[in-house]
Amino acid sequence: MYKETTADRLFGLLVYVGLLIIVIVVLYPLLYVLSASISNPELVVNGTMWLWPMDITLEGYSKIFHNKEILTGYGNTILYTVVGTAINIVMTILAAYPLSRKDFAGRGVITAMIVFTMFFSGGLIPTYLLVKNLHMMNTIWALVIPGAVSVWNIIIMRTFFQNGIPNEIQESASIDGCSNIGILWRIVLPLSMPIIAVLILFYSVGHWNSYFSALIYLTRRSDYPLQLILREILVQEDMNEMQQSAFTMNIILQKEIIKYAVIIVANLPILMLYPFLQRYFVKGVLVGAIKG
């Protein structure tokens, strides 16, 4: 039996204290925003409410679900996230699987060319001109096609295919007459659920939180995602604070409570998605990123 020393107990105590501090730092902003979204906005503005809800009201959420622009932006964001993530996963699998096969000629050169694009890109202006010349402005494709694949995620998935799936299984299926597509569909993908779940989380969070591409490529407000509408609310709130003499305090308080409520509504789907993928998360990241 291992006898715990005083130094071990002290180190364990320091670890727990450090983790407690990290938890507080991470959870406090979330708890504050949640509390502010259901508290009296006047108490939030003057600093009376700093942790727990006070004078609870659901006025902010009521205004959100009666605002057509916010509801339209919510629907657009769901559409962009679902379509974009589906394209990302398909393209990543189709790129990673061939590069993981030892019998694929030239995979080293192709991998080097793909990795090169991770460090050097065309830049914003050439990308904008390309999207414009392809007539993708004001369409969903302007948001999902330019970022259809992530080089880093291709490398992670390729590494998982190489080290997480025994090559003997694929060779056995090949001997039994299974084609490469059949091996991918019947053997590789069912065994790759951990890494696929992790990449779904990564890609979906990226699409859900993205607003810059929409800011550049979309001009119709009916196509705006929720994050772009949230950005407008936050920017408008900052302008209101600099021009308080031009607005009544009541309008400022209403915008304050709407701001926090929109933040909660915007992040709720991602927070609900994570628990379902948590059991795959650690396994997928470790196997895909460390081995090989």
Question: Is 26 within the bounds of a domain?
Answer: no
- Average pLDDT value for residue range 260-267: 82
Give strand ranges (E) for the chain. Answer: none
Q: What would the pLDDT profile of 59-113 be if each residue is shown by its tens digit? A: 878 877 777 888 888 889 999 999 999 999 999 999 999 998 888 888 889 888 8
Dist CA 74 CA 63 (whole Å): 14
Question: Is 189 within the bounds of a domain?
Answer: yes
Question: Is 25 within the bounds of a domain?
Answer: no
Question: Is 51 within the bounds of a domain?
Answer: no
Residue 251, pLDDT above cutoff 80 = no
Percentage above 90 pLDDT, the chain? 17
Dist CA 54 CA 57 (whole Å): 9
The answer to whether 201 touches 89, Cβ cutoff 8 Å, is no
Question: Is 65 within the bounds of a domain?
Answer: yes
The CATH number of the domain where 118 resides is what?
1.10.3720.10
Q: Residue 220: which domain range?
A: 60-289
Question: Is 100 within the bounds of a domain?
Answer: yes
pLDDT of res. 228: 85
Question: Is 115 within the bounds of a domain?
Answer: yes
What's at 262, amino acid-wise?
Answer: V
Helix axis angle for 249-289 and 193-209, nearest 10°, is 150
State the DSSP string of 115-157: HHHHH----HHHHHHHHHHTT-TTSTHHHHSTTS--HHHHHHH
Higher pLDDT, 289 or 3: 3
Question: Is 244 within the bounds of a domain?
Answer: yes
Mean pLDDT of the chain: 81
Q: What would the pLDDT profile of 7-59 be if each residue is shown by its tens digit? A: 888 888 999 999 999 988 988 888 888 888 888 887 887 778 888 888 888 88
Give how many domains the chain has, as a whole number: 1
